[in-house]
Each structure stands twice: as structure tokens, then as C-alpha cells.
Amino acid sequence: LKEYLDFLIKQDLVEERLVGKRRVVYAVTQRGITVLKYFRELKQVLPIVEEARQQVPALF
């Protein structure tokens, strides 16, 4: 889990926040929210692309 969080932090998708004196929490950054939005849009489009690909006859 730490590896994933470190990666997301380095990509500026998540940030560490200190709550109180010792508690660390993680929050999604504005960039992270934007990336999630694009992934959701792609998820909606990909089934349409796959459906169209299946309707085109294979050349090989």
C-alpha cells in the first residue's frame, strides 16, 4: 500500500496531511480529481469502441 501511495504522491494525485500531532491522512488533490474524471469518461467510451471493433470484419 505504501508503494502505491508514494507513487500517487509523486504524481501529485494524492497528498499527505497531518491531523493533530501524529496522525497522517491522505487526500486527493485537484489534479487527482481531474484524472479520476478523465478515467470515468474513458470507462464510458471504451465499451463503445470495443463494440465498434467487434462489428468491423477482421482483415487477418
**φ and ψ at residue 58, rounded to 5 degrees:** -70, 140
H-helix or E-strand containing 40? helix 30-55
Query: 5 falls in which pLDDT band (50, 70, 90)?
Result: very high
* pLDDT tens-digit series, residues 14-31: 999 999 999 999 999 999
Return the pLDDT at 44. 85
pTM strictly above 0.85: no
Bridge partners, residue 17, by sequence: 25
Q: How far apart are CA 14 and CA 7, in angstroms?
A: 9
Say what the pLDDT of residue 28 is: 98
